[in-house]
Amino acid sequence: MKTLPAPLLAKISWRLLPFLLLMYIMAFLDRANVGFAKQAFQADTNISDAAFAFGAGVFFVGYALLEVPSNLILHRVGARLWMCRIMVTWGLVSAAMVFAHTETSFYVLRFLLGVAEAGFFPGVILYLTYWFPSAARGKAMGFFYFGAPLAFIFGSPLSGLLLELDGFAGVHGWQWLFAVEGLMATAVGVWAYWYLDNRPADAKWLTVEERQQVQGILDQEDSHKQNHGRSLLNVLCQPSVLYLCLIYLLIQASVYGVVFYLPTQVGGLLGTKVGLMVGLVTAIPWICAIVAAYLIPGYSDRTGERRRTACLTLLMSAAGIACSVTFASPFLGIVALCFAASGFIAVQPVFWTFPSSYLAGSAAAAGIALINSFGALGGFIAPVLKNWAEGAFHSPAAGLYVLAGTTVIAALLVLGIRSPVHKPSNTPATV
């Protein structure tokens, strides 16, 4: 499989990946900080656990509805403009959470946050296919996935510290949290407009020869990718794409079933309320996840073994999720959470090599967005399913046991992914 020379690959990586990583940190922080605000927010607003679970999850409904059209717009107008629009609007909506004093306002703002952020993640996955050949894409995506762990490593203490500003200037701690972190995302969005280049041909920081070399390899790869028919509807209805949608839904259910409640769970293990100490301890599983996100996708790139690697990584995550509520020891509980976070973070860049290996152009834009939309539905289902299981089985551990089971199902389904049959096709997908 042809790839770029190491110096050129490093040049592209150092230019793009750190900034994309910063963007993802902002995105993950603004969608997951509701978990840190949970206790203080509910205490101040009297919102019930069921209402909080619904509000936490309804973000993903708005997100899922607009994934495909948003990604098609990015493919048409370019990442530079569209990523700026996404980040500025989601940052402003996130900051507006300071006004969420009722269930209705909480639901509306969480839904609008999903609408504003729709297309960000699949847009970045698509954007990486414009710059990195298949042989280097797993590692590049793995680096991008550092964003989620780093959001918690640095964001957890920040969120805990902002919560401890409760009462400063007559403002609640949870309001400081939403306002500061939302406006940070808006600032990064403005920066994105001046920093990003849409395609290698636009990159003034590459020489003419380097631009031609990058584009030549990517064009050669695209010529062998399937477009699954002439219309995007045919692309979206392909069994292989829908199969990946189901797997990603289950993966994201495990991710957000843990993420939304992780600060509360760590606080329970430590026997203390959510604050700076909980924020510092919560960062530990994400440090482990960074190591896993570096090693596992890199191993997958070197060996070309995608399915087995993804399956075993998911099984590790499932075991960690289950064991985190099995052990009474705080130490063992944190160790289990390290395995859980490492597994469900590291598996995702490996997973995204499957659709990006045989979809190109507008077909890739639509297919990747649809798969991520189903993942968003998994994020909506997870807190509701967790809350239901805990009530139905009268056990605070039941929810995570159920999510561990869905993660095992995802691991088994990964083994059924078929390698794409490369058939040259010059007919682009059309709307």
- What's the one-letter identity of residue 411? A
pLDDT digits (tens, 9 = 90+) for 293-319: 889 998 988 888 889 999 999 999 999
Q: 313: helix, coil or strand? A: helix
DSSP string over 9-76: HHHHHHHHHHHHHHHHHHHHHHHHHHHHHHHHHHHHH---HHHHHHHHHHHHHHHHHTHHHHHHHHHH
Which tokens belong to 12?
């592209």
Please give the model's pTM, rounded to 2 decimal places.
Answer: 0.76
Mean pLDDT over 171-185 rounds to 92
How big, in percent rounded to 5, are the helix, strand and coil portions of the chain?
Answer: 80, 0, 20
Q: If pLDDT is split at 50, 70 and 90, which confidence band does 1 have?
A: low
Alpha-carbon distances of 340 from 46, 97, 168, 228, 255, rounded to whole Å: 31, 29, 36, 35, 9
- What CATH fold (topology level) applies to the domain 230-418? Growth Hormone; Chain: A; (1.20.1250)
Quickly list H helices, 196-231.
Answer: 208-222
**422 contacts 226 by C-beta, under 8 angstroms:** yes
Domain 6-218 and domain 230-418, same fold? Reply is yes
**109 contacts 97 by C-beta, under 8 angstroms:** yes
Better-scored residue on pLDDT, 331 or 279 = 331
Better-scored residue on pLDDT, 114 or 160 = 114
pLDDT of 191 reads 96
Which tokens belong to 22?
């910063």
pLDDT of 366 reads 83
- Name residue, tokens 């999903």: 114
Does the pLDDT of residue 233 top 50, yes or no? yes
Burial class of residue 304, CB neighbours in 10 A (0-12, 13-18, 19+): exposed
Question: Nearest Cα to 117, choosing from 97, 91, 155?
Answer: 91
pLDDT digits (tens, 9 = 90+) for 43-102: 889 988 888 888 877 887 888 888 889 989 998 999 999 999 999 999 999 999 999 989
Q: How many other CB atoms sit within 10 Å of the CB of residue 266?
A: 26
Q: If pLDDT is split at 50, 70 and 90, which confidence band does 343 have?
A: very high
Domain ranges of the chain: 6-218, 230-418
- What CATH fold (topology level) applies to the domain 6-218? Growth Hormone; Chain: A; (1.20.1250)
pLDDT of 338 reads 93
Q: Cα(341)–Cα(338) distance, rounded to whole angstroms?
A: 5
Q: If pLDDT is split at 50, 70 and 90, which confidence band does 231 have?
A: low
Q: If pLDDT is split at 50, 70 and 90, which confidence band does 170 have?
A: confident
Residue 430 pairs with which residues in a beta bridge? Answer: 231
Better-scored residue on pLDDT, 322 or 39 = 322
Mean pLDDT over 352-362 rounds to 78
